Amino acid sequence: MDQVVWFNLSFFIRTLKLVRVLDLSQIHLGCEIELLVQLRYLAVQGMMKTIPSSIVNLSNLETFVLHFSGWVVLPDNIWNLKKLRHLEMKGNYPVGFCLPNDNLDNYAELCNLDTFSTAILSWENWEKILRKFPNIRELKGKLLEYGVSAGESNKVLVLYHLSRLESLNVYSYEERYAMQYQIEFFPLNLRKLTLSGFKLPWCKISAIGCLPNLEVLKLLKGAFEGEVWNMEEAGQFLKVRFLKLASFRLVRWTASE
């Protein structure tokens, strides 16, 4: 097991202000980091509930990796990191970044963001937030249902506006509500798709089957619900070369020749 190292970074950071790549994945984040304004890559260990707003002083930052087990709140000014390309959290389950929700219309898009893992989103604002990442290529996210009444139905997952998205892993966190979801317009560029917790009826899977570039499909616990999956439509799943089904009560699975 890796050990987390504690030491005073002040002298090191004040001496190497021009460093561009800094991997402190076994060292806790210190406030001195904000002095390294030339940083392009930053990996740190963190035991925190929030990322300090001073991170936006790293205006050249392209990659931020946080090693932590839990949910961490990103600062309201995270939208000012215009060069950010990769935002990732690594750690034991559950992990994720909670995004600021206030005054979203007043902030510009993160047009350079390419990969994001893991985004913690609510059904109330997930679409507005994802519109801030118009060019994202890889996305992993958890959808929360706080503020949603038990039994509420007709929640629609619409992702067509993420036209460059190639890899999507999304999990509906509150399965206990057993809500009836709809899937609408997945991006046609999708090559990898992982779903869990949505409890969709199998008749809705045609929205996935018609994706022309889909190669890897993982349907995990609670992604779909029901004992019968009929694959009777021709021209479905034409490029899928890897399929994983986990924790289903599937009794009959039929397919056309």
Give residue-wise pLDDT tens across range 198-255.
888 888 888 899 999 999 999 999 898 888 888 877 778 999 999 999 988 888 888 7
Decide if 181 is inside a domain: no
**Res 178: pLDDT:** 47
**Res 235: pLDDT:** 77
Domain holding 82: CATH number? 3.80.10.10
Q: Which domain holds residue 132?
A: 10-144
Decide if 167 is inside a domain: no
Decide if 212 is inside a domain: no
How many domains is the chain built from?
1
Decide if 55 is inside a domain: yes
**Res 22: pLDDT:** 73
**Res 19: pLDDT:** 73
**Res 135: pLDDT:** 97
Decide if 182 is inside a domain: no
Decide if 209 is inside a domain: no
**Res 225: pLDDT:** 87
Q: Which residues of the chain have pLDDT under 70?
A: 1-18, 24-32, 145-154, 174-184, 256-257
| Closest CA relative to residue 53, chosen from 26, 71, 13, 80 | 80
